[in-house]
Chains A and B, each alone.
Chain A
Amino acid sequence: MSFTYIASAADWARIAPELVLAGVALLILLVDLLLPQTGAVPRERGAANFFVLPLLALLGVLGALAATIVLFVVGDGQRAFFGLVGSDWGSLYAYLAILSAAGLGIIFSPAYLKRLKLVHQGEYYALFLAATLGMMLLAAATSFMTLFLGLETLSLALYILCGFVTRRQSSQEAGMKYFLLSSFASAFLLYGVALIYGATGTTRFGARGTSAFPGVLQFLQAHPQSTTLLLIGIGLLTVGFAFKVSAIPFQMWTPDVYEGAPAPVTAFMSVGTKAAALVAFARVFAVVLEPVAADWQAVVWALAVLTMVGGNLLALVQRNAKRLLAYSSVAHAGYLLIGVVGGGATGLAAILFYLLCYAFLNAGAFGALSALERLDNSGCDREDLRGLWFRRPWLAGFLAFFLLGLAGFPPMAGFAAKYYLFFAALQGGHPELLLIGVLTSVLGMYYYLRLIAAMFMEPAREVQAGSLEVTPALAVAGAGAGAGVAPRASGPLGRAASTRTGGASTGAAVAVKTAAQATTRRAPEVEQAPETREQATEEGALAGSSLSWTTWLGLGLAALGALALGTVLPFWLVDLALKAAATL
Chain B
Amino acid sequence: MTTIPVSWYLIVSALLFTIGTIGVLVRRNPLIIFMSIELMLNAVNLAFVTLSSYLDSADGQIFVFIVLTVAAAEVVVGLAIIVSIFRTRRNIDVDEMNLLRG
Contacts and interface: CB of A to CB of B under 8 A. Distances in A.
Interface of A: 1, 3, 144-145, 148-149, 152, 156, 159-160, 163, 166, 169-170, 172-177, 179-180, 183-184, 187, 190-191, 193-195, 197-198, 201-204, 255-256, 259-260, 318-320, 323, 527
- Nearest 10 CB-CB pairings of A with B: A187-B40, A256-B100, A194-B47, A198-B51, A152-B70, A203-B59, A190-B44, A170-B99, A173-B97, A183-B37
B77 interface: yes
Contacts of B84: 163, 166, 172
6 contacts: A160-B81, A169-B88, A194-B48, A195-B47, A202-B57, A319-B102
B52 to A, nearest CB: 8
A187 B89 contact: no
B62 interface: yes
Contact of A170 (B30, B48, B100): B100
Contact of A176 (B37, B43, B51, B85): B85
B66 A179 contact: no
Contact of A190 (B33, B41, B62, B88): B41
B66 A169 contact: no
B100 A172 contact: no
Given A149-B66, A201-B57, A176 B47 contact: no
B82 interface: yes
Contact of A198 (B47, B77, B97): B47
Given A159-B81, A160-B77, A163-B84, A191 B99 contact: no
A1 B70 contact: no
B55 A198 contact: yes
B33 A191 contact: no
Interface of B: 10, 17, 20, 24, 30, 33-34, 37, 40-41, 43-44, 47-48, 51, 54-60, 62-63, 66-67, 70, 73-74, 77-78, 80-82, 84-85, 88-89, 94, 97, 99-102
A175 B59 CA distance: 33
A583 B82 CA distance: 43
B2 to A, nearest CB: 22
A320 B73 contact: no
A187 B97 contact: no
Contacts of B24: 180, 184
A1 B59 CA distance: 11
Q: DSSP class of B's interface residues: helix, strand, loop or mixed?
A: helix
Contacts of B10: 198
B68 to A, nearest CB: 12
A318 B101 CA distance: 10
A148 B101 CA distance: 30
A163 B81 contact: yes
Contacts of B56: 1
A62 to B, nearest CB: 28
Nearest to B17: A191
A160 B81 CA distance: 8
Q: Report which residue of A148, A201, A255 has the largest number of chain B beta carbons within 10 angstroms of its beta carbon.
A: A201
Contact of A152 (B44, B51, B73, B97): B73
Given A197-B63, A318-B102, 20 more contacts: A1-B57, A149-B70, A156-B77, A163-B81, A173-B99, A173-B100, A176-B30, A176-B81, A179-B77, A180-B34, A183-B74, A184-B40, A187-B44, A191-B47, A193-B63, A202-B57, A203-B63, A256-B100, A320-B102, A323-B102
B57 A191 contact: no
A382 to B, nearest CB: 13
A42 B58 CA distance: 51
A187 B46 CA distance: 13
Contacts of B47: 191, 194-195, 198
A19 B33 CA distance: 35
Contacts of B43: 191
A197 B59 contact: yes
A202 B67 CA distance: 17
A64 B55 CA distance: 39
Contacts of A320: 102
Given A191-B47, A323-B102, A176 B74 contact: no
Contacts of A259: 100
B10 to A, nearest CB: 8
B77 A174 contact: no
Which interface residue of B56, B59, B94 has the most chain A CB atoms within 10 A? B59
Contacts of B59: 145, 197, 202-204
Contacts of A183: 34, 37, 74, 78
Given A159-B81, A194-B47, A184 B37 contact: yes
A169 B89 contact: yes
A159 B76 CA distance: 11
A172 B78 CA distance: 12
B27 to A, nearest CB: 11
Contact of B66 (A148, A174, A204): A148
Nearest to B100: A256
Contacts of A166: 84, 88
B40 A145 contact: no
Contact of A145 (B54, B62, B85, B97): B62
